[in-house]
Amino acid sequence: MLENGQVFTGRAYGAVGETLGEAVFCTAMTGYQETLTDPSYHRQIVVATAPQIGNTGWNTEDGESTGSAGSDADSGDSGKIWVAGYAVRNPTRRVSSWRATTSLEDELVRQGIVGISGIDTRTVVRILRDHGSMRAGVFSGAALPGGETGGRVSDAAVDELVGRVRDQPSMSGADLAGEVTTAEGYVVEPTTEHRYTVAAVDLGIKTNTPRMFAERGVRVHVLPASAGFDAIRDIAPDGVFLSNGPGDPATADAVVGLTREVLGADIPLFGICFGNQIFGRALGRSTYKMKFGHRGINIPVIDHATGAVSITAQNHGFALEGEAGEEFDTDFGRARVSHVCANDGTVEGVELLSGRGFSVQYHPEAAAGPHDAAYLFDKFVTVLDGDRAHGTRA
């Protein structure tokens, strides 16, 4: 059920019941486990554009969240599913991956995720593409008047369900980072010789991000989104990282303030996705809600400095204002828009010309996706190398 009153009738998929959220579509042809466990999808009903979903099942290794925050749902070792609901065309009837420990539908049931299958997802995607992401709901079983007995849903029941969909809050103005962040800080140790320490502010961090740092000799202190500058100062990190996450960046004033303190203390900073928007706001830029956002693993991004194009994984419905190559003054020196999307010109990165801070809108840590942007972790380590070489930090 979409908020414009359009109804799509299919079969229950996953848990039976009712769920509400913002309907968005993801164009990725693979990697649904990463999508479903990405905290950035919190409070969103994901419509898969790939026609068949579930053929690789579900395993205990590819989840991108710990499941430790915002909910008491037991996600086990496979990662908490953060999406509000899942809509697919043709769920596979057989799991074919040797890595699978269960089927996708069984995991959806276990974690209580309400979904729907057998609908024309192409039509849904066209609606969202043409009219923008909108509030939606999935209803099955007793949550669907007449549906639990297989009977026709009356017009009155449809009106009631549309009302429930429209009564839910919009994603604009939603402050969600606090609902997905870790309840307590934790440390991820480097897998090679320890070189540096980074404080990572968890706004909805994916598990592969600390892993990418660890592979480069970086110890990562993951901090809750509510952490203040004192918590960072106590760690005495060589750098600070701002993670991905859900919600409207215009609501994240506290984290923006923290970022400004970090920049004022001249600590190198790196941000991705939601972190890019937070960094941009700290530099004085504004944000806006996109019509339907970027969600997929094949999105081309242009580096303004070199002209190089990277194919990237993305998941965002908000973006920074700006144009390619635009330079502007900030309280921390000159900055510029460093990257833009080749498809629509959306800002995909900003940086201080001093090199003390940079961020990108896409996901260099993507596991199920392209690795074109993985070099950004090396770029950040190079900044830390420079500090050590110049004696800025021990």
- The question of whether 341 is a catalytic residue gets the answer no
CA–CA gap between residue 32 and residue 113 (Å, rounded): 14
Both tokens assigned to 178: 């606090």
170 is in an annotated binding site: no
CA separation for the pair 339, 358 (Å, rounded): 11
Residue 245 is labelled as binding a ligand: yes
Does 318 belong to an annotated binding site? yes
217 annotated to bind ligand: no
**315 is known to lie in a ligand binding site:** yes
Is there a catalytic annotation at residue 326?
Answer: no
CA distance 369 to 134: 26
How many helices and strands (H and E) does the chain possess? 10, 19
Q: Rounded distance, CA 92 to CA 134, Å?
A: 27
One-letter amino acid identity for 134?
A: M
Q: Is the dihedral of CA 105, 107, 110, 116 positive or negative?
A: negative
CA distance 65 to 208: 9
Rounded CA gap, 97 and 285, in Å?
45
Please pick, among 34, 64, 105, 365, the residue that the annotation labels catalytic: 365
Per the CB < 8 A criterion, the answer to whether 220 and 109 are in contact is no
Among residues 34, 273, 294, 339, the one annotated as catalytic is 273
273 is catalytic: yes
Structure tokens at 34: 């990463």
Burial of 390 by CB count in 10 Å (0-12 exposed, 13-18 middle, 19+ buried)? Answer: exposed
Query: Which DSSP letter does residue 336 get?
Result: E
> Does the annotation flag 185 for ligand binding?
no
Asked whether 127 and 2 are in contact (CB, 8 A), the reply is yes
Tokens for 87, please give them.
């809509």
State the binding site for L-glutamine: 40, 245, 247, 274, 277, 315, 317-318
* Catalytically active residues, by annotation: 273, 363, 365
State the binding site: 40, 245, 247, 274, 277, 315, 317-318
